[in-house]
Amino acid sequence: MESNPSDHPRASTIFLSKSQTDVREKRKSNHINHVSPGQLTKKYSSCSTIFIDDSTVSQPNLRSTIKCVTLAIFYHIKNSQGYEVPDDYYKHDPDHKHIYRFVRTLFSAAQLTAECAIVTLVYLERLLTYAEIDICPSNWKRIVLGAILLASKVWDDQAVWNVDYCQILKDITVEDMNEMERHFLELLQFNINVPASVYAKYYFDLRSLADDNNLSFLLEPLSKERAQKLEAISRLCEDKYKDLSKAAMRRSFSADNLVGIRRSNAILS
């Protein structure tokens, strides 16, 4: 389990290791071809001014977090083993903007939180590790949808019903959503608990992913009032995450009572 990033806080996340390979190759290519990095637009702190964004581990910025999570999914698909896909699916890997629009639409319509986006990525990598499958052009939408579905039910206080997703995605039925949820839980071995240390690791690795790919967070000067507000938010959210983690553990234990669930195929397509 220590090699599984979705369970162990010291294991390296899969998406970051995949993205860093591409970043190193791009920087090497720019160096060989003498490509200028261009004008630096990032703001840096000084002795008189500290620049900071409004995203914290306890209350991440929603838009920036979704961008980072979808970029991580993009690298997963880009570095997949290249499955042969049917004619009615994408014949090429979807780009980052396409994945972002898909996830943003779901989060906006269902009013999901930024924390839910991070847990979605944890469940996605847990699925890929537990089931030993790969995410590819033919199955990425269903895998992402299944991860969002579980994350919204485990993490958010007011979970979205499966029928609500059918109102957002017109080409899917409630029966299909229910079946997909059962498959996903089976492949996760009903392990839906996300320790605070694992959540924090994914948050900071997503920040590193943003820096490597020039996904800038909006920086503003840190004032005394803003610093006090951030400190108060952190204190309030700390107790909330402890309660949610305990609730998730109780829910995972209750899954032992489930019987008669049909064994599912590994690839959700």
| Per-residue pLDDT tens digits for 105-139 | 999 998 999 999 999 999 999 999 999 888 988 88
Query: 169: pLDDT confidence band, cut at 50, 70 and 90?
Result: confident
| 99-to-94, 171, 264 alpha-carbon distances in Å | 7, 17, 26
What are the tokens at 8?
């162990």
Query: 264: pLDDT confidence band, cut at 50, 70 and 90?
Result: very low
pLDDT at 186 over 80: yes
Q: What does the DSSP 8-state code read for residue 160?
A: P
pLDDT for position 260: 41
Scanning the chain, the segments in alpha helix (DSSP H) are 14-32, 62-78, 96-110, 114-130, 140-155, 162-168, 174-187, 196-212, 224-254
Report which of residues 155 and 176 the model is more confident about.
176
Report which of residues 17 and 221 the model is more confident about.
17
In whole angstroms, give the CA distance from residue 6 to residue 260. 27
In degrees and rounded to multiples of 5, residue 133 shows phi and psi of -120, 175
In whole angstroms, give the CA distance from residue 83 to residue 130. 19
pLDDT for position 138: 83
CA angle 144, 145, 148 (to 5 degrees): 85
pLDDT mean across residues, the chain: 77
In whole angstroms, give the CA distance from residue 194 to residue 117. 13
In degrees and rounded to multiples of 5, residue 221 shows phi and psi of -60, 140
- Considering all CA atoms of the chain, what is the largest pairwise distance in Å, rounded to the nearest integer? 65
pLDDT for position 92: 55
Is the CB of residue 155 less than 8 Å from the CB of residue 115?
yes
Per-domain residue ranges for the chain? Answer: 62-247
pLDDT for position 259: 40
Least confident of 70-79, 201-210, 226-235, 237-246: 237-246
What are the tokens at 179?
């079946």
pLDDT for position 145: 94
pLDDT for position 90: 47
Most confident of 4-8, 19-23, 27-31: 4-8
pLDDT at 3 over 80: no
pLDDT at 257 over 60: no
Long-range contacts of 43-50 (CB under 8 A, 24+ apart): 43/219, 49/221, 49/222, 50/221, 50/222
What does CATH list as the number for 62-247?
1.10.472.10
In whole angstroms, give the CA distance from residue 37 to residue 172. 45
